[in-house]
C-alpha cells in the first residue's frame, strides 16, 4: 500500500507528512488542446454550441499551426482555456495527429512558473521531454512537451506564460 494522500480544504493533494509532491511551480491547468481540420469552422462551433468566445488567435510558424484560444465569455486572466489547433502544413505534428486519430483532444497543458525547472523535474523522474530547450508557444509563452507514453497516454505541454499569472 502506498503513502497516504490527503486533499486539504484548498484541494491540493499532499503526501503523508504534508509536503506538496510532484511538479514544482505548478500554477494550474493552462489549456486543453484540440486538433481541428478547419479553424474557422471550429471557432463557429465552439461559439454557437458551447457559447465560448475567441480570446486570442495567431499563426505559429515554428509549430506549423493556426491556433485560437477560446474561453467562457466572463473568464478572467489565468482561466483554463481551450486551444484549437489547425495544421498549416501536411507534415506538421497536428496534421499527423489528425491523420492518425482524427479531430479531438490532442494535449493537456499545465501552467508553470519556470518551464526549464519543470522539464528538469520531469526528466529526473524518467519522463521523456521532447525538446532540449523551450519553444515559442501561444502569445510568446515558453513551452516544452512530455512524451505521451510517459504520461499515461496524454501529450503534456508545460507552459510558462509571458508575464506573471497568478
Cell of 158: 508545460
Residue 52: name the closest of 69, 40, 36 by CA. Answer: 69
Class level of CATH domain 25-160: alpha beta
Give pLDDT, residue 10: 43
Give pLDDT, residue 38: 98
Give pLDDT, residue 96: 96
pLDDT-based confidence at residue 21 (cuts at 50, 70, 90): low
Which of 21-25, 35-39, 111-115 is the least confident region?
21-25
Is 140:160 a contact under the CB 8 Å cutoff? no
Is 110:132 a contact under the CB 8 Å cutoff? no
**Mean of per-residue pLDDT scores for the chain:** 87
Read off φ and ψ for residue 47, nearest 5 degrees: -75, -50
Q: Is the pLDDT of residue 22 over 90?
A: no
C-alpha dihedral over 26, 30, 35, 41, to 10 degrees?
180
Q: What distance in Å separates the CA atoms of residue 29 and residue 154, rounded to the nearest whole number?
A: 14
In this prediction, residues 59-74 reach a mean pLDDT of: 95
- pLDDT tens digits, 83-130: 999 999 999 999 999 999 999 999 999 999 999 999 999 999 999 999
Cell 475567441 belongs to 54
Task: State the pTM of this model.
Answer: 0.82
Question: How far is C-alpha 143 from the chain's CA centre?
Answer: 9
Cell 509536503 belongs to 19
Give pLDDT, residue 163: 74
Give pLDDT, residue 78: 84
Is 108:23 a contact under the CB 8 Å cutoff? no
Of the CA atoms within 13 Å of residue 104, those in its CB half-sphere come to 7
Q: List strand residue ranges (DSSP E) for 88-124, in order.
A: 104-112
Amino acid at each position: 500500500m502506498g503513502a497516504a494522500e490527503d486533499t486539504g480544504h484548498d484541494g491540493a493533494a499532499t503526501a503523508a507528512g504534508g509536503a506538496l509532491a510532484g511538479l514544482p511551480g505548478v500554477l494550474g491547468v493552462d489549456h486543453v488542446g484540440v486538433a481541428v481540420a478547419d479553424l474557422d469552422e471550429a471557432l463557429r462551433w465552439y461559439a454557437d454550441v458551447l457559447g465560448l468566445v475567441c480570446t486570442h488567435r495567431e499563426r505559429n510558424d515554428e509549430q506549423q499551426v493556426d491556433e485560437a484560444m477560446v474561453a467562457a465569455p466572463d473568464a478572467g486572466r489565468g482561466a483554463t482555456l481551450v486551444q484549437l489547433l489547425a495544421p498549416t502544413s501536411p507534415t506538421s505534428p497536428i496534421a499527423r495527429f489528425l491523420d492518425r486519430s482524427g479531430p479531438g483532444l490532442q494535449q493537456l497543458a499545465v501552467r508553470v512558473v519556470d518551464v526549464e525547472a519543470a522539464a528538469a523535474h520531469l526528466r529526473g523522474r524518467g519522463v521523456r521531454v521532447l525538446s532540449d530547450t523551450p519553444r515559442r508557444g501561444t502569445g510568446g509563452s515558453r513551452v516544452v512537451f512530455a512524451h505521451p507514453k510517459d504520461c499515461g497516454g496524454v501529450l503534456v505541454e508545460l507552459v510558462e506564460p509571458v508575464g506573471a499569472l497568478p
